[in-house]
Amino acid sequence: MTCLSEMKISAPLLGTLLSLATATSVFAADTSKVCQGHSPGFRAAVIELYTSEGCSSCPPADDWLRRLPRDDLESGRVVPLALHVDYWNHLGWRDPFSQPQFTTRQRTLAARNHSQTIYTPGLFLNGKEWRGWHRDHLAARTAGLATERPAANIQLSASARDNSMQLRGAVSWNRDFPQHMALYIAVLESDLVTRIAAGENAGRTLHHGHVVRYLSDAIVLTPQVAKFEHRLALPTAWKRTSLGVAAFVEDSASGEILQAVSLPRCPG
């Protein structure tokens, strides 16, 4: 069954972790391995899955998301994000990938979609609730986005050295600057396997992909070209070769995601 929560919706914003920079050069020279890319010429589809290892109805959604992107979708068409929530941790199994921050984000998205409940598995497509994900054909669902000129362009680079990752990039605009714009950056990990010893999924082995290990707080953008830089400590438990990074621009008033970019298997 679908796991439901009747939690009261609130939307506290955490302090910004990334700082906007005004340097003339976005990508500085570095002897560490660097991967970089930019958002596509069309509007990408950010798929946010809110999930939990403590929810018995979540594994099918986890499997569906970890297999993205598929061969029938051109490069950059979808940016999958798996955000593990913490509100089922009392059911006998504490999800090791869960973070309170992701529960807060799901509450915020639910409120913007005029919903009074949060649940798992819960999916949002570019900030809009998507209840029919298991019935809809993804390529058809996102076909309109593939012909839409994006409001923003995103450049992103990542480099890793020792136990840290350097994230840099810039955002520019294709039309008059919309108000209430914010940038988010995520570090993802794939190829994750958990053997569940208790709770609703006891005895199962779960496989995960595109799991968000780090999500920045909202970075308020300005009408000028916004450049950003941030150094992130990499815990030793994160497998370097399974990491990726993503960034997306969001209308912080409506929650709609206007553009995104993903660098899978980066920096590797």
Render pLDDT for 81-103 as a digit per residue (tens, 0 to 9): 999 999 999 999 999 999 999 99
Residue 31: is its pLDDT beyond 80? Answer: no
Number of domains in the chain: 1
The chain-wide mean pLDDT, for the chain, equals 87
Q: What pLDDT score does 6 carry?
A: 37
Q: What pLDDT score does 11 carry?
A: 32
End-to-end CA distance of the chain: 38
With contact defined as beta carbons under 8 Å apart, do 159 and 33 qualify? yes
CA distances from 268 to 57, 74, 238, 240, 256 (A): 32, 22, 11, 6, 31
Q: Average pLDDT in the 153-174 region?
A: 93
Residue 74: is its pLDDT beyond 80? Answer: no
Better-scored residue on pLDDT, 143 or 13: 143
Question: Which H or E run contains 219?
Answer: strand 219-220
| Token output for 202 | 């006891």
Least confident segment among 13-17, 26-30, 99-103, 254-258? 13-17
Q: What pLDDT score does 3 carry?
A: 58
Q: What phi and psi, each to the nearest 5 degrees, are found at residue 115?
A: -110, 140
Question: Which H or E run contains 46?
Answer: strand 45-51
How many Å apart are CA 143 and CA 16, to the nearest integer?
34
Q: What pLDDT score does 19 carry?
A: 34
Count Cα atoms within 13 angstroms, Cβ side, for 21: 17
Full residue range of the structural domain in which residue 236 is found: 3-263
Q: What pLDDT score does 132 carry?
A: 84
How many Å apart are CA 247 and CA 236, to the nearest integer?
23
Residue 17: is its pLDDT beyond 70? Answer: no
β-bridge mates for residue 184, sequence order:
248
Residue 14: is its pLDDT beyond 90? Answer: no
Q: What pLDDT score does 168 carry?
A: 95
Least confident segment among 3-7, 91-95, 189-193, 220-224? 3-7
Q: What pLDDT score does 137 carry?
A: 83
Residue 22 binned pLDDT confidence (cut-offs 50, 70, 90): very low
Q: Is residue 127 part of a domain?
A: yes
Q: Average pLDDT in the 240-254 region?
A: 94
Share of the chain above pLDDT 70, in %: 86
Q: Is residue 268 part of a domain?
A: no
Residue 41: is its pLDDT beyond 80? Answer: yes
Q: Is residue 16 part of a domain?
A: yes
